[in-house]
Amino acid sequence: MRYVLFDVDGTLIDAVSNQRRVWGTWAERYGLDADEVYRVALRTRPMETFAQVAADRDPHECLAALHELEDDDVRSGVYTAFDGASELLHGLTPGAWALVTSNYEHRVRGRFLRTGLPMPDVIVDAAAVEEGKPSPVPYLQAAARLGAEPEDCLVIEDAPSGVQSGLHAGMTVWGVNATVPVEGVHRHFASLREAVPHILAFASAGSCGDAAA
């Protein structure tokens, strides 16, 4: 049996404008330049972002403020699933796919509810692991919870840290929603829509022989 493990933001759900708005509001609260803060936030985890842009502030206070804004955005923001996401997730066998996200489960559930996407049985979020992407731990935990071997798993990602996480876990990794391939991916698709039939074919196949071709 084969399994598919998905990143969420940027892979299944388009949350770029939401993230930019949240970080912009956060920056204004601290009297910082919103564009500069967002540039740093794109490359680093929140605590690392705070260390660079607000080193004189209590990082835990900064994180609490960010979480408050993110939770507000889940309740009131407008979210869009990428074209093909609903067809893809509904086409997979229940119990054969999972979400692996650097966000938190309650926010993912809120976003999926807003976009009408089905929820899987397994979600590995930021609270579930001590080491986030690019560590292999998140994807390995998802595989373990599904009862899957890493070599039977396909990772769908859009970001370099997620791609590295999947590769370090010994899994097949395909990249989506990027104009150029992320370094290391076994296959690249400019959009999720383009990847849908190939992902469904992978999931229904009996062996991984040419999965990385």
Q: What percent of the chain has a predicted confidence (pLDDT) above 70?
A: 96
Q: What is the pTM of this model?
A: 0.88
**What is the C-alpha separation between 16 and 97, in angstroms, rounded?**
24
Condensed to tens digits (0 to 9), the pLDDT of residues 138-191 reads: 999 999 999 999 999 999 999 999 999 999 999 999 999 999 999 999 999 999
**What is the C-alpha separation between 183 and 36, in angstroms, rounded?**
25
**What is the C-alpha separation between 101 and 119, in angstroms, rounded?**
13
Contact 100, 138 (CB under 8 A): yes
- Among candidate residues 9, 14, 73, 158, the one labeled active-site is 9
- Helix ranges (H only) for the chain are 16-29, 34-43, 46-53, 59-76, 85-91, 105-115, 137-146, 160-168, 192-204
To the query of whether residue 125 is one of the catalytic residues in this protein, the response is no
Q: How far is CA 11 from the centre of its chain?
A: 6
- Among candidate residues 7, 125, 152, 158, the one labeled active-site is 7
Spell out the residues 6+ positions from residue 76 whose beta carbon is closer than 8 angstroms to its own: none
Condensed to tens digits (0 to 9), the pLDDT of residues 105-147 reads: 999 999 999 899 999 999 999 889 989 899 999 999 999 999 9
Burial label, 62 (beta-carbon count in 10 A; 0-12, 13-18, 19+): buried
Condensed to tens digits (0 to 9), the pLDDT of residues 45-83 reads: 788 899 999 999 999 999 999 999 999 998 888 889 999
Least Cα distance to 182 among 200, 155, 201 occurs for 155
pLDDT value of position 212: 41
Amino acid identity for residue 149 in this structure: E
To the query of whether residue 152 is one of the catalytic residues in this protein, the response is no
**What is the C-alpha separation between 122 and 142, in angstroms, rounded?**
7
Amino acid identity for residue 197 in this structure: P
